Structure 1
Amino acid sequence: MSDTVTPMMAQYLEIKEAYPDALLFYRMGDFYELFFEDAEAASAALDIALTKRGKHQGKDIAMCGVPHHAAEGYLLTLIKKGFRVAVCEQMESPAEAKKRGYKAVVKREVVRLVTPGTLTEDTLLDARRNNFLCAWADIRGDGAFAWIDVSTGEFHVTPCPRVVLNPMMARLNPSEVLVMDGDETLREPIEEAGATMTPLARASFDSTGAEARLAALFGTKTLEGFGQFTRPELAAMGAVIDYIEITQKGRLPMIRPPVREEMDGAVRIDAATRRNLELTHALSGGRAGSLLTAIDRTVTGPGARLLEARLCAPSTNLARITARHDAVEAFVTDRLTAQDLRAALRRAPDMERALGRLSVDRAGPRDLAALRDGLTQADAIARMLGADMPEVISEAASLLVGHDALAGLLDRALVAEPPLLARDGGFVAAGFDTPLDEARTLRDEGRGVIAQMQGEYQDLTGISSLKVKHNNVLGYFVETPSTHADKMLSEPLSDTFKHRQTTANQVRFTTPALSEMETKILNAGGTALGIEARIFAELRAAVMDNAAEIAMAARALAELDVASALAELAVSEDWTRPTLDTSRAFRISGGRHPVVEQSLRRSGGSFVANDCDLSAEGEARIWLLTGPNMAGKSTYLRQNALIALLAQMGAFVPAAEAHIGLVDQLFSRVGAADDLARGRSTFMVEMVETAAILNQAGERALVILDEIGRGTATYDGLSIAWATLEHLYENNGCRALFATHYHELTALAGRLDGLKNATVAVREWEGDVVFLHEVRPGAADRSYGVQVAKLAGLPEPVIARARTVLDALEEGDRDTGGKAKALIDDLPLFAATPAPQAKPKAGPSPLDAALAEVHPDTLTPREALDLIYALKALSTGQAKT
């Protein structure tokens, strides 16, 4: 085969040169085709056949392809595997290309660069999660972080020093983060956050150019109407907009005015704390078992996205939190309205994302229908909400009305269930457009129209045998027997009927009206599609003229969904409204862990509620929690942190009563995990996370720490735990729960006024330990480690040996002042230790034997009473014995 580069391949190479870092989806007819290295990478990633097409520089040209109608599924796979895709479309038909010459190549252009942060299609997105594109900018040490969901237009920015970048990414879980070209120091934290790092030229981050770019975008002379933005904030926002222009090829989506968030507007939660508390993902991976899954009762996609945003960024604004609690309480109280609202919300489509696709001209008729149905439901919901509702609900209701004109237009224009693609036609309702109805009639009922004309011609000529016929040569024509030829060729009929052809027995004519109708019939299908395309464009324009109002209505529906969902949660789970203020209070009565409680309920168990009181004014308040493993210390620590978080996101809480002074930072050091990729042991990871807490926690922080110092030698670990506890008390001055197995620390309660000992109660029964899961004042005297090891299934010889060693160490510690080495030297080796003698099993007691003979279903009330007296006598006799 020739090695000459064909015009088509030359075009491909020219386009590919502009997108070296992306896979090029090159449209050829009904397929997107990929060549060279792109084909090899795509075939491996998509598991599709790799073929070849000609040669280039002496080598076969690798090729693979995917059908254009199924491209979205392949795009999703590639994006998830870290690829970027440049979509190159045909800008003209092959017939148009041939007009420019026999060898002319169809014009093609890249119309879109598909990246993780710029997706808009439903099939590529999770309906219940935001998909954020972010940018971080730094100007002379001042940082800022901007983020946008291209599919909804939600746009935010906040000050963000480098030290806060990781917590911000942990909060937002972005898909893609833009950074200045050459800044490789950010690659590791960005990739750790599960995002793709995309370097941009420094010009994209120019704050002066960004200000002009943003003003032009929103059609204003200045940005002052949206807030006062710093230079780093302008740079970050400008980079986001510039990147969207690059990837969307100038087709900017609908972008809402930027919302500036203050750094202290939300509770600061670092990545480790989010992971330890399993806010949105369980430690085992996936969403099942997370707090979000446990509390999510939303019935719409926008509501689910708003709920997650609130959970990931609980507010520190007391007025805002109170308003959210008022809304939830209103729906808790008025259950009938809440149930009607949730039923209506289930019928409300995702208007946010439909509007986003329409804004980038990537939508179909179903997106218009989504807006029609959504606005109709919005109006119905507004009518069902009373006028005396709390502020959050009444404000949302006010945004749901005033869309009658647009909703009416869409209702008249669209069929009930339109097709997916506008190019297929059939989405405009009958009666909306007269020319369209006529074109459809011709297309679908051409024979009937011709039959009607035939009847008219028969009446006009008085010739009952006149027929209108069709063939491929003449098209439509009027045919009469030759006996009527003279009449047809004479006036006045000759003015209407023009002779076309004479056969042996027939004469054929045409008329201007018949010729015109023939053209209409032949073109009716294309004419109908053209008219529908025009109508779609007009409807889209009407929607975009009202885009801001539609977006606010969609947001209002999400607000109502979240409030009613949290009310449903409160009622079904028996949660209560917390009291929040600006004090240092932290008083929980009957607190429960929401995730663990639901899990226990599913398995037929019940959760033991516990109290917690860290309230203090002018001093630190710390609880030092001791008790054995498996007793529930970690659950207790986590549940109190989650209760604070739920309260400040605006939800009711799993407790009988809760009084919480606002928390502005939440830190958690719970659990153990290594980080082998960066050469960190479990203990090193623990120390890094502990250092972050001690260096950052302020007096309004809530800190939960579990087993500090356990990953090293006993005295090293005890020393670190001791010093950490004192630092939290003396320097950080925060509210904290500190769980430990170092019982020596309990002595500090007598020296630090703000420290209180608490323990998780257990009971011993015949050498085993029974966990009561009840937190009480006081300190544990031991850890019951051997008993827990027995429950875990360690072999009995190991358990017996452990008891022997433990008894010797404890006795020696009392007698020799803790000279452990001497004790170990004197202790016989395992092999020399006599095997434990199995205790003979005792037979059943008289009480057990008597109970075994009882059949409750056969007892009369009198026999049952006599049995109780008899059993009591047996029990008393056993006790005396």
Structure 2
Amino acid sequence: MTVADACPAETEAPRPAPDDAPEASAARREDGHVTPVMAQFVEIKAANPDCLLFYRMGDFYELFFEDAEQASQALGIVLTKRGKHLGADIPMCGVPVSRAEEYLHKLIALGFRVAVCEQLEDPAEARKRGSKSVVRRDVTRLVTPGTLTEDALLDARRENVLLAVARVRAGEDAFAYGLAFADVSTGTFRVCASSAAALAADLARIDPAEVLLSDALFEEADLRPVWDELPAITPLPRQSFEGAGAEHRLAQYFGVATLDGFGSFGRAELIAAAAIVAYVERTQLGARPALAPPVRDADDATLRIDAGTRINLELVRTTTGERRGSLLGAVDRTVTSAGARLLARRLAEPLTDLSAIRGRHDAVGHLVEEGALAAALRRRLAAVPDLARALSRLSLGRGGPRDLLAIGQGLEEGLALADALRAAPPADLARCAAALARCEPGLARDLRAALVEAPPHLRRDGGFIAPGYDADLDATRALRDESRRVVAELERTYVEATGVRTLKIRHNAVLGYFVEVTAQNADRLREPPHLATFTHRQTLAGAVRFTSPELAALESRIASAGERALALEQAIFDRLAERVVAAADAIRTAAEALAELDVHAGLARLAVDERHVRPTMTAALDFAIEGGRHPVVEQALAKAKGGFVPNDCDLSAPEGAEGGQIWLVTGPNMAGKSTFLRQNALIAVLAQAGAFVPARSARLGVVDRLFSRVGAADDLARGRSTFMVEMVETAAILNQATRRSLVILDEIGRGTATFDGMSIAWASLEHLHEINRCRALFATHFHELTALSQRCARLANATVKVAEWQGDVVFLHEVVPGAADRSYGIQVARLAGLPPAVIARAKAVLAELEAAERAAPAQRLIDELPLFAAARRPPPEAAPADDALAAALDAIDPDALTPRAALEAIYALKALRPRRG
């Protein structure tokens, strides 16, 4: 049954809800006619068809029809029913209001959107309109993955980004893309330009929680592979991405006449930014979070890292989605949630601006040298709450007393940190100190004075304004508290008058104040002289309840005093929240400065604890690392009481060369080739993110693009085998890498036939050397490729040392110049536990294959490996053979050559060939 079938009837309410009495009486029809409650539900649901509707009924959010079926399955809660419609049961389930955030978190994580429908009036007001009147309700908020603000729904140490993608035509057959991305929970708002080629990489860098697209863009077949990688997509009507009113919408949202003061934006960027603010206004139902004005990311300001490389290197999450085991998990020493989020962003977006990178290193270096200052900063930072998220909740009207307290504490700590940093010379630290010095001391003092030390979480609970802050509130509280004392005195009077020692005056939401005695003593209050004082109210299994004129009058006084005290607190809260929102720019700036300080101090602590050093950053094609280490593996080995073997790596461009070096790394499986490759890529990321690096020394030229093809994975959902995925990623590298790029490639060509794979690996290596001319590490089991070092000037061979001992292989994990002549695959298989019979047979087969290869004529190898005719760019014109070349050819006896001798002879002939240019 669907909601669209009709407005259903309902039976009696499934749960007691005394505050919904009018609806309870209107919920008993089973004749197929529309009941007021269900009519209201259907109307509100029809306005929010793409959301699960949390329909407030008393102390529960109820769901009906398909919503109930989906929520019941997703949340693992009981699916029940509420009456019938057209002879069929109406599915229903519900969650307690007190636990709503817990259930919302689960639903949002599963990709649902939820419309929260609240009661907008007191049920008593509804009763005044008649017994069948329904409490007024409406949706107060749409909860989506990208618009969360509550701490319970968010990961405190991870950004929650809402992103919009817009596309405009930039020529006859070309398009320009604009990306706008905001974190509603903190107020950050950025835009950038993109292209079809860079779109996937940009989306991976931003890592959004929810993506807004026009429905036309969403349906485009060419972009389907890009959208399939995203966590939550919300297609919107084409009108949401119209360019005509984009600039006006943005100006209106930020209350300015023109956007010129915010910078220069492209048309696609403006459209995407306007789509963001329109969606935020829609989901927040008019409430406006304290978004900062949009800031445009400069083109090529950050290190380009494609999605595959991010996965391979596990920068902020492992391949299984966990933080632990990633680079971020290994280097995070921050003490605030805002600092952790900023560090994650910096690792995802390393800089390419040499000056900015050095500025971050200066800040970290200063705190490494000034250990006492760094320790003092970290102690104060540990007490800093999450200012940005508290500000966002207050601006949306969802804040509580603890958010006000967080703002006050954060501003106070910011002022103290500004004083501590006055003498810090690095520009980045001085900028933080200047931002913190602008914290509003008056606001901080007022918030501290207004709030108790441990306020309640919810403002409706009251009791959060400190005594002495407001005279009127103090007087009202005194009246309320005095009334409570009078209740105790009245109870003693009744005990003495009746002689019932167990008599108690109690209170609940239904009856208010009442006198309660045991059933055995009830008759005493029903008889003279007490009959004139006490009126029977309720009989329970073991107790009887009464009221009295005095108690009713006292209840009225207490209720009015308590309500007035709470109303006064609410008014004070609203005034303080308005002041906070008015100071949003200063608070946001302070929050950013505190997060940056935390990152610098955390990286300084990391450098000291893990023996990281400051890298020397240059504008040249340098890449010289001495004693480099893998930060994640090293820490894992340290926990296991093991040691990490450091290794050198030098890919720097030789003097006068037009490109960097390539290291061809050979060695057996399990020897550490992949670790070596990854550690050098991670060192580059850390350095350009502003961190010190795990090495004895490092001299690094800024990398513009980082590419990694390490490991094997398939993509069966898109019809891609492991080898196809490998080739797609390799193609991206060869087509996009520049002279300033860093490339790490592992086992190219291993997913297909041996000669095919060797050919591809050979050609790829030549292309990297001749065309891309980038710095690269190329690991392979094709030992034949090592001969390329004789003709490729910037290619050097390196191998991972191993030793054999009594038939076993011992991995030394040391990378040294040279080439491996064996893969030791059978020894590794033996270590893995293959049966002895299999190992013995493998050895016999290997011996036969090696003997056959030694006996094979050279021409067979040449014929089956067309890679020896690989083209080079630019192909030189054929030069006439000289006497030396002719003499060398005459000296060759093809029938007498082994395959390796044939290969060496070919290189010798190539060396004699006349060159041009």
User: Counterparts in 2 of 1:471-490, with a 5 A limit?
Assistant: none
After TM superposition, list the pairs within 5 Å mapping 1:198-209 onto structure 2.
Answer: 198-209=234-245
1:185 is displaced (CA, Å) by: 3.5
With over 3 angstroms needed to count, the CA separation of the structure-2 counterparts of 1:225 and 1:302, relative to structure 1, is same
Residue number in structure 1 paired with 2:425 = 389
Out of 158, 167, 174, the position equivalent to 2:208 is 174
Q: Distance in 2 between matches of 1:189 and 1:451?
A: 71
Shift of 1:56: 2.1
Residue type at the aligned position of 1:653 = V
The answer to whether the 8 A contact 1:173-1:193 is kept is no
Matched, 1:154 2:191: no
2:451 pairs with one of 411, 414, 419: 414
Q: Aligned pair count? A: 760
1:253 corresponds in structure 2 to 289
Matching residue of 1:656: 696
Cα 1:591/1:635, change in 2 over 3 Å? same
Contact kept in structure 2, 1:809 and 1:820, CA below 8 Å: no
After superposition, residues 686-725 of structure 1 pair within 5 angstroms as 686-725=726-765
Counterpart in the other structure of 1:426: 463
Q: Does 1:684 align with 2:741?
A: no
Structure 2 letter corresponding to 1:539: L
Gapped regions of structure 2 (runs ≥ 5): 1-29, 170-174, 490-531, 533-551, 862-917
Letter in 1 for 2:798: A
The aligned amino acid for 1:750 is: Q
Q: Which moved more, 1:566-575 or 1:371-380?
A: 371-380
Q: Secondary structure at the match of 1:207?
A: coil
Deviation at 1:677, TM superposition (A): 1.3
1:222 has 2:262 as partner: no
- Letter matched to residue 554 of structure 1: A
Counterpart mapping for 1:289-328 below 5 A: 289-328=325-364
| Residues 275 and 518 of structure 1: CA distance in aligned 2, closer, same or farther (over 3 Å) | closer
User: Which one of 49, 56, 62 corresponds to residue 27 of structure 1?
Assistant: 56
SS of the residue aligned with 2:813? strand
Give the corresponding residue for 2:887: none
Aligned twin of 2:846? 806
Q: In the alignment, which residue of structure 2 is the partner of 1:565?
A: 602
Matched to 1:809, the amino acid is L
Is 1:144 paired with 2:173?
no
Deviation larger for 630-639 or 199-208? 199-208
- The offset of 1:283, in angstroms, is 2.7
CA, structure 1 residues 758+300, in 2 after alignment: closer, same or farther (shift >3 Å)? same
Query: C-alpha separation between the residues in 1 aligned to 2:838 and 2:815?
Result: 31
Within 1, Cα distance between the matches of 2:108 and 2:556? 48
Q: Which amino acid aligns with 1:305?
A: R
Q: Quick check: 2:621–2:659 contact (8 Å CA) kept in 1?
A: no
| 1:364 counterpart residue number | 400
CA contact (8 A) 2:651 2:662 kept: yes
Whether the 8 Å contact between 2:659 and 2:775 is mirrored in structure 1 is no
Partner of 2:666: 626
How far 1:439 moved relative to its partner?
A: 0.8
Q: Cα deviation per residue 1:757-786 (whole Å; 9 max; x = unaligned)? A: 111111122222211111111111121112
Contact 2:484 2:558 in 1 (8 A): no
Displacement of 1:451 in angstroms is 13
**Partners in 2 of 1:378 and 1:277 — Cα distance?**
36
Q: How does 1:71-220 map to 2 (within 5 A)?
A: 71-140=100-169, 141-182=175-216, 183-185=218-220, 188-189=224-225, 192-220=228-256
CA contact (8 A) 2:422 2:433 kept: no
- The reply to whether residue 55 of structure 1 matches residue 104 of structure 2 is no
Aligned-pair CA distance for 1:448:
6.7
1:516-535 to structure 2, matched below 5 A, reads: 521-535=558-572
Correspondence for 1:544: 581
Aligned equivalents of 2:734, 2:213: Cα separation in 1: 30
1:356-383 CA-to-partner distances (Å, cap 9, x unmatched) read: 1001001110110111111111122222
State the AA in 1 paired with 2:445: G
Any conservation in 2 of the 1:442–1:449 contact (CA below 8 Å)? no
What is the CA–CA distance in structure 2 between the aligned matches of 1:770 and 1:581, rounded to whole Å? Answer: 39
Contact 2:483–2:554 (CA<8 Å) still a contact in 1? no
What's the counterpart of residue 39 of structure 1? 68
SS in 2 for 1:400: helix
**Deviations, residues 536-557 of structure 1 (Å, cap 9, x unaligned):** 1001001011111011111111
Distance 1:342 1:613 in 2: 36
The alpha carbon displacement at 1:730 in A equals 1.3
What does the per-residue CA deviation read over 1:704-740, in whole Å, with 9 as the maximum and x for residues that have no partner?
Answer: 0011000111110110000000111111111111111
Between structure 1 and structure 2, the one with the greater Rg is 1
Alpha-carbon distance between aligned partners in 2 of 1:418 and 1:709, rounded to the nearest angstrom: 63
Give the AA of the match of 1:181.
Answer: D
Identical columns (%): 60
Is 1:586 the counterpart of 2:623? The answer is: yes
Which residue matches 1:443? 480
Tell me how far 1:516 sits from its aligned partner.
12
Query: Over residues 91-113 of structure 1, what are the superposed CA-to-partner deviations in whole Å (9 max), with x where a residue is unaligned?
Result: 11122223334432211111111
CA shift in 2, pair 1:221/1:747, >3 Å: same
CA contact (8 A) 2:483 2:557 kept: no
**Structure 1: stretches of 5+ with no match in the other structure:** 453-502, 504-514, 822-881
Counterpart secondary structure, 1:127: coil
Q: TM-score, normalised by structure 1?
A: 0.84
**CA contact 2:662–2:769 (8 Å) conserved in 1:** yes
Q: Offset of 1:46 from its aligned partner?
A: 1.2
Query: Does the residue aligned with 1:607 lie in a helix, a strand or coil?
Result: coil
Q: Kindly indicate whether the alpha-carbon contact (under 8 Å) linking 2:80 and 2:93 is maintained by their aligned counterparts in 1.
A: yes
2:814 pairs, out of 763, 774, 799, with 774
Q: Secondary structure at the match of 2:399?
A: coil
- Deviations, residues 857-878 of structure 1 (Å, cap 9, x unaligned): xxxxxxxxxxxxxxxxxxxxxx
After TM superposition, give the deviation of residue 533 of structure 1 in Å.
0.7
Structure-2 separation of matches of 1:440 and 1:12: 41
TM-score by length of 2: 0.81
* Cα distance between partner residues in 1 of 2:318 and 2:731: 24
From 780, 794, 817, the counterpart of 2:857: 817
1:327 alignment partner AA: A
Give the C-alpha shift of residue 411 in structure 1: 1.0
CA shift digits 1:626-678 (9 cap, x unpaired): 11111111111101100011000000000111111110100000001111112
2:133 match: secondary structure: coil
Query: Does 1:734 pair with 2:768?
Result: no
Tell me which of 576, 579, 587 is aligned to 2:613. 576
The Cα of 1:171 is off from its aligned counterpart by 1.6
Tell me the secondary structure at the aligned position of residue 419 of structure 1: coil
Asked whether the equivalents of residues 584 and 662 of structure 1 are also in contact (C-alpha less than 8 Å), the reply is: yes
User: In the alignment, what sits opposite 2:900?
Assistant: none
The CA RMSD over aligned residues, in Å, is 2.0
* More off after superposition, 691-700 vs 294-303: 691-700
Separation (CA, whole Å) in 2 of partners of 1:626 and 1:397 = 51
Q: Please give the alpha-carbon distance, in whole angstroms, between the structure 2 residues aligned to 1:99 and 1:319.
A: 71
- Report deviation, 1:200: 1.1
Residues 429 and 597, structure 2, Cα contact 8 Å, conserved in 1: yes
Other structure's SS at 1:89 match: strand
Using the alignment, how far apart are the partners of 1:162 and 1:70 within structure 2?
44
Q: Matches of 2:226 and 2:161 in 1, distance apart? A: 13
Residue 762 to residue 175, structure 1, CA distance change in 2 (3 Å): same
For residue 818 of structure 1, report the CA deviation from its aligned partner. Answer: 7.3
- Rounded to whole Å, the distance in 1 between the matches of 2:753 and 2:845 is 18
- The Cα shift of 1:436 comes to 0.7
**190 and 439 in structure 1: CA distance in 2 versus 1, 3 angstrom threshold:** farther
- Residue equivalent to 1:759: 799
